[in-house]
Amino acid sequence: MNTKLFSPYTIKEVTFKNRIVMAPMCMYSSPNKDGKVADWHRTHYATRAVGGVGLIILEATAVTPEGRISDQDLGIWNDEHIEGLKEITGLIHQHGAKAGIQLAHAGRKADLEGTIYAPSAVPFPGMKTPTEMDKQQIEQTVEAFKQAARRAREAGFDIIELHAAHGYLLNQFLSPLTNHRQDEYGGNPDNRYRLLGKVIEASKSEWSGPIFVRISAEEYDEQGNHLDQYLTYSQQMKAQGVDLIDCSSGGMVPAKINVFPGYQVGLSDAIRNQVDIPTGAVGLITTAIQAEEILGNGRADLVLLGRELLRNPYWALNAAKEFGADIERPRQYLRS
């Protein structure tokens, strides 16, 4: 059976053997609180590569120490992080998958001791109040993303993803719910986009490979951003040379979300077909036939699986068996 799910996909000379992507999911498993790779990461990511995934995107990896979601997050703020990350990319590549990394800054959602930073001094409910970033701190953050892109290149990653979703720093600047500034970084949609735009350009100065951006294309609050605004932001990202938009939702403020299988696919569909830019769909995608429908009907170019790959590292191999797809399997497992 010819399937879209198991067809290769190429972006900027990087070819994924199939359209199955492991979504970035925080592991909170750097036990020495230094942001370095631990045995858990080596086992966790290599196993999904063995399982047949085409692209594995590492968890939100902090570009600054104060930008961690927790004090056990992976980091990429120091050259000392490169060695461990390079080991992970080697393990992923050894088993035929491509390696990506999500570059992130938590902003006001950093659960850390000490000062945390955000576009405005507006706390996430139940968390401490952040310090409003001054322009020097904003420029330092842009530089931190730039250096993180360099380290990602030196560590051997194939793609980088900028985390502008789920209520973290870049998303906070984009949203009127959290960005109350009246300078060039706030006050209107173009100004609120300015930081993300600078981060994209800074990253490109150190990174020539594919760049993804993860967005929350619906904030589930009447005063927040919705799909219509993200269609405009997606046009701006496309003009800057972003290669794919990873379409998620929520996380900016607490919200009741009507969750059902594929509940975010419509966001990917709209952005892909109205902006004419490749997209990834994510969110309760659990079965092979569901993933094939999304791709086959042109609603996304890649499907990202999160919790389903936690439950079953060999999801891709099982999906290939279901479709009768001829894919390479680890020779060590052929007897099964």
CA angle 151, 234, 208 (to 5 degrees): 30
Tell me the β-bridge partners of 58: 101
Whether residue 114 lies inside any domain: the answer is yes
Q: Is residue 170 part of a domain?
A: yes
- What is the spatial distance between Cα 36 and Cα 12, in angstroms, rounded to a whole number? 29
d(CA 262, CA 331): 34
Distances 269 to 30, 170, 262 between C-alpha atoms, Å: 36, 23, 11
Contact 10, 324 (CB under 8 A): no
User: Cβ atoms within 10 A of the Cβ of 59, count?
Assistant: 22
The answer as to whether 60 is a domain residue is: yes
Q: What is the pLDDT of residues 134-186, one digit of tens each?
A: 999 999 999 999 999 999 999 999 999 999 999 999 999 999 999 999 999 99
Q: Which whole number is the average pLDDT over 81-92?
A: 98
The whole-angstrom separation of Cα 317 and Cα 313 is: 9
CATH of the domain at 286: 3.20.20.70
- Look-up: residue for tokens 């170019």? 301
Distance between CA atoms of residues 197 and 190, nearest Å: 10
Total structural domains within the chain: 1
In a domain, 3, yes or no: no
Which range marks the domain in which residue 293 is found?
A: 9-333
pLDDT digits (tens, 9 = 90+) for 269-325: 999 999 999 999 999 999 999 999 999 999 999 999 999 999 999 999 999 999 988
Is the four-CA dihedral 310, 313, 317, 318 of positive or negative sign? Answer: negative
